[in-house]
């Protein structure tokens, strides 16, 4: 956990006071609706379909047990008893009252949390690999770099009124688990041939209605030059990004219209002016940030792993089925990574109740050095669990309904709030997720299907990342009815790709069955159990899927004019 120093804390406290004043001026009629809208959005407050929605920042997905207890308190006191993990590792509350938000922020500030820049056309929460610090394929822990970037971005005076929102993600591992290819800036922490630490910089990825993969604009940026280079990119974007059309305003459109080569030239020219300025970091700046992250006192392997885990796996088949999906390797010998599934049947993907927040805080304290992470696929992770404790932890998670053994499987769906909550949505997504869940709930069946990422958004904005789902589902409105476009073959990992559309959209009544048909085709076509859905799709292509989905007998699909 990064622990604020007094300066970090003072800024967050001053923000609470500023936002309280803004809210009071709005309620007193001194701020127009439109002006307050921009201000409240910069604080994560949306006015939604039924009530405001407050998005709280979880920088790089890391939460302490103290913070979890506060989230439980907020869910109970100001909301209807639950919160929601978003696809950018943040926490959202769906029912706060506008006039109570300053009090919620004050509560959050007391545990070093805030809602700064969680919406609006500014630099948003910095995200990272949810296995940071625990993954074996990692060069180094990216989170101190995320934290300095968070600080650089917080209240940046020049970049608070950008053409559009701006998202930055970090990865430092061989396997990209942070979806950096679909961010405005993706930063890969790397070493160059001389062994020096630095970054590869990718720009211009994004989802939404014009999905694009990011371009690498610099292969190696020295470690201490991070701020000046980010500033150069943002300045070029602030100056040249389109402001006349909200759908053409993201940096991806600028990179595309200038061409990556010309865009890079502009950034490099700007950087040449900035790189030797006060923006250059000192090694001690980074060191100081690193020392403010808690270091875990891991037990020696023999103590952390007393051999009981192997016995319990052999003795308890339910436990073994869970461990197969939800327990992953840790780079520290004797430890494991435990996934907390927020994808139980009957609950909206990513939802956590007040008492679950509090119970998770206790479990984090007891078994995982008081820390928990949120993941961009809307689950949680207890990253540092001694193997001897895994069985006891599983029993407690199971009792809490947080041990559905489905991580990475079909029912581990990403899903936006959709028409049930969101004022932008064209169609429901939570209900569709449940229909699909019902068809595939049999766990053996899911295991047989294997790794599969279904991602679903209720509108083109793509909060559910549908374009990079192995199976993507996008809700659209057709003459007041909910219809769904389906894409196949997307991925947000190292083999990043945008999915291909199957054809005409499919009705609400037919969408779950359509997923079933896609799975049937995969199971028939695959060359053995080792071939994943994504590999099989890439080998056989769209044709067999299309044939099954749109065969004559299936008149469910709408024919578009």
Partner 1 sequence: MSAPLPALIRDGKLAANDWHSVADDAALPAAGKAIVSLKRWRAEKDALAASGLTLGVRIPNTDEVTPALAQELSGLPLVAVEIPKFADGRAYSQARVLRERYGYAGEIRAQGDVLHDQLFHMSRCGINAFELRADQDPQDCLKAFGDYDLAYQHGADRMGTVWERRRAQR
Q: Which residues bind partner 1 (CB under 8 A)?
A: 5, 7-8, 10-11, 14, 17-18, 21-22, 25, 30-31, 35, 38-39, 121, 151-152, 154-162, 235, 238-239, 243, 273, 278-279, 282, 284-285, 288
Tell me the closest approach of the beta carbon of residue 423 to partner 1, in angstroms. 19
Q: Residue 463, by phi and psi: left (phi above 0), alpha (psi -120 to 50) or beta?
A: alpha
CB nearer to partner 1: pick between 35 and 438: 35
CB nearer to partner 1: pick between 17 and 219: 17
Q: How far apart are the first and last CA of the chain?
A: 55
CB nearer to partner 1: pick between 270 and 377: 270
Task: Please tell me the distance from the alpha carbon of residue 61 to that of residue 129, in angstroms, as a whole number.
Answer: 8
CB nearer to partner 1: pick between 5 and 310: 5
Tell me the closest approach of the beta carbon of residue 269 to partner 1, in angstroms. 11
Task: Please tell me the distance from the alpha carbon of residue 392 to that of residue 390, in angstroms, as a whole number.
Answer: 6
Tell me the closest approach of the beta carbon of residue 239 to partner 1, in angstroms. 6
Question: Is there a contact between 309 and 390 (Cβ–Cβ < 8 Å)?
Answer: yes
Question: Is there a contact between 153 and 123 (Cβ–Cβ < 8 Å)?
Answer: yes
Tell me the closest approach of the beta carbon of residue 44 to partner 1, in angstroms. 16
**Residue of 418, 402, 440, 401 whose CA lies nearest to 518:** 440
The alpha carbon of residue 82 and the mean position of all alpha carbons in its chain are separated, in whole angstroms, by 19
Tell me the closest approach of the beta carbon of residue 56 to partner 1, in angstroms. 20
Task: Please tell me the distance from the alpha carbon of residue 254 to that of residue 265, in angstroms, as a whole number.
Answer: 13
Greatest pairwise CA separation for the chain in angstroms: 68
Task: Please tell me the distance from the alpha carbon of residue 26 to that of residue 154, in angstroms, as a whole number.
Answer: 23
Q: What are phi and psi of 62, to 5 degrees?
A: -100, 130
Q: Taking CA 416 as the corner, what is the angle to CA 45 and CA 187, rounded to the nearest 5 degrees?
A: 80
Tell me the closest approach of the beta carbon of residue 463 to partner 1, in angstroms. 22
Task: Please tell me the distance from the alpha carbon of residue 438 to that of residue 162, in angstroms, as a whole number.
Answer: 43
Residue 368 DSSP symbol: S
CB nearer to partner 1: pick between 121 and 347: 121
CB nearer to partner 1: pick between 159 and 369: 159
Tell me the closest approach of the beta carbon of residue 244 to partner 1, in angstroms. 11
Q: Taking CA 157 as the corner, what is the angle to CA 151 and CA 159, rounded to the nearest 5 degrees?
A: 85
Tell me the closest approach of the beta carbon of residue 214 to partner 1, in angstroms. 23
CA atoms within 13 A on the CB side of 457: 21
CB nearer to partner 1: pick between 154 and 341: 154
CB nearer to partner 1: pick between 7 and 553: 7
**Residue of 3, 94, 83, 107 whose CA lies nearest to 48:** 94
CB neighbours of 452 closer than 8 A, spacing ≥ 6? 408, 409, 410, 470, 471, 532, 533
Tell me the closest approach of the beta carbon of residue 248 to partner 1, in angstroms. 15
CB nearer to partner 1: pick between 19 and 483: 19
CA distances from 413 to 377, 434, 469, 486 (A): 8, 10, 9, 14
Tell me the closest approach of the beta carbon of residue 162 to partner 1, in angstroms. 6
Q: What are phi and psi of 490, to 5 degrees?
A: -80, 160
CB nearer to partner 1: pick between 77 and 160: 160
CB nearer to partner 1: pick between 93 and 271: 271
Tell me the closest approach of the beta carbon of residue 498 to partner 1, in angstroms. 30
């Amino acid at each position: 956990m990064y622990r604020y120093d007094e300066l970090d804390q003072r800024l967050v406290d001053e923000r609470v006071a500023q936002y309280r004043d803004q809210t009071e001026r709005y309620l007193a009629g001194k701020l127009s609706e439109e002006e307050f809208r921009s201000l409240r959005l910069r604080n994560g407050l949306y006015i939604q379909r039924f009530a405001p929605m407050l998005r709280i920042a979880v920088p790089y997905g890391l939460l302490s047990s103290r913070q979890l207890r506060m989230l439980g308190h907020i869910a109970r006191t100001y909301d209807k008893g639950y919160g929601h993990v978003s696809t950018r590792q943040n926490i959202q509350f769906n029912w706060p009252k506008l006039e109570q938000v300053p009090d919620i922020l004050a509560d959050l500030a007391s545990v070093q949390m805030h809602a700064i820049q969680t919406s609006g056309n500014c630099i948003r929460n910095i995200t990272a690999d949810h296995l940071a610090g625990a993954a074996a394929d990692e060069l180094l822990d990216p989170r101190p770099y995320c934290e300095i970037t968070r600080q650089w971005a917080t209240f940046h005076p020049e970049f608070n009124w950008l053409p559009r929102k701006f998202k930055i993600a970090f990865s430092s591992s061989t396997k990209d688990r942070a979806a950096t290819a679909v961010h405005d800036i993706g930063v890969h922490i790397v070493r160059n041939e001389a062994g020096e630490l630095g970054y590869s910089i990718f720009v211009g990825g994004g989802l939404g209605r014009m999905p694009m993969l990011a371009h690498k604009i610099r292969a190696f940026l020295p470690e201490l030059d991070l701020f000046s280079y980010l500033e150069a990119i943002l300045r070029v974007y602030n100056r040249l990004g389109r402001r006349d059309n909200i759908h053409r305003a993201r940096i991806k459109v600028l990179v595309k219209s200038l061409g990556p080569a010309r865009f890079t030239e502009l950034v490099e020219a700007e950087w040449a002016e900035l790189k030797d300025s006060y923006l250059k970091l000192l090694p001690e700046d980074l060191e100081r940030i690193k020392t403010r992250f808690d270091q875990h006192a891991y037990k020696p392997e023999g103590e952390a792993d007393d051999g009981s885990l192997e016995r319990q796996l052999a003795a308890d088949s339910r436990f073994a089925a869970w461990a197969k999906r939800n327990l992953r390797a840790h780079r520290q010998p004797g430890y494991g990574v435990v996934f907390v599934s927020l994808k139980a049947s009957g609950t909206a993907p990513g939802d956590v109740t007040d008492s679950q927040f509090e119970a998770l805080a206790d479990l984090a304290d007891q078994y995982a050095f008081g820390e928990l992470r949120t993941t961009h696929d809307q689950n949680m992770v207890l990253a540092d669990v001694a193997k001897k404790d895994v069985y006891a932890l599983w029993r407690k998670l199971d009792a809490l309904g947080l041990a559905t053994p489905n991580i990475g499987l079909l029912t581990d769906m990403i899903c936006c709030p959709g028409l049930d909550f969101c004022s932008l949505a064209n169609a429901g997504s939570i209900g569709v997720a449940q229909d699909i869940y019902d068809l595939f709930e049999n766990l053996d069946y899911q295991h047989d299907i294997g790794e599969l990422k279904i991602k679903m958004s209720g509108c083109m904005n793509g909060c559910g990342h549908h374009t990079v789902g192995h199976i993507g589902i996008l809700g659209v409105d057709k003459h007041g009815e909910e219809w769904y476009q389906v894409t196949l073959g997307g991925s947000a990992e190292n083999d990043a790709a945008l999915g291909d559309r199957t054809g005409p959209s499919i009705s609400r009544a037919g969408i779950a069955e359509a997923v079933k048909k896609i799975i049937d085709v995969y199971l028939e076509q695959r060359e053995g159990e080792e071939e994943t859905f994504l590999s099989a799709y890439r080998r056989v292509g769209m044709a067999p899927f299309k044939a099954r989905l749109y065969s004559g007998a299936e008149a469910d699909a709408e024919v578009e004019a």
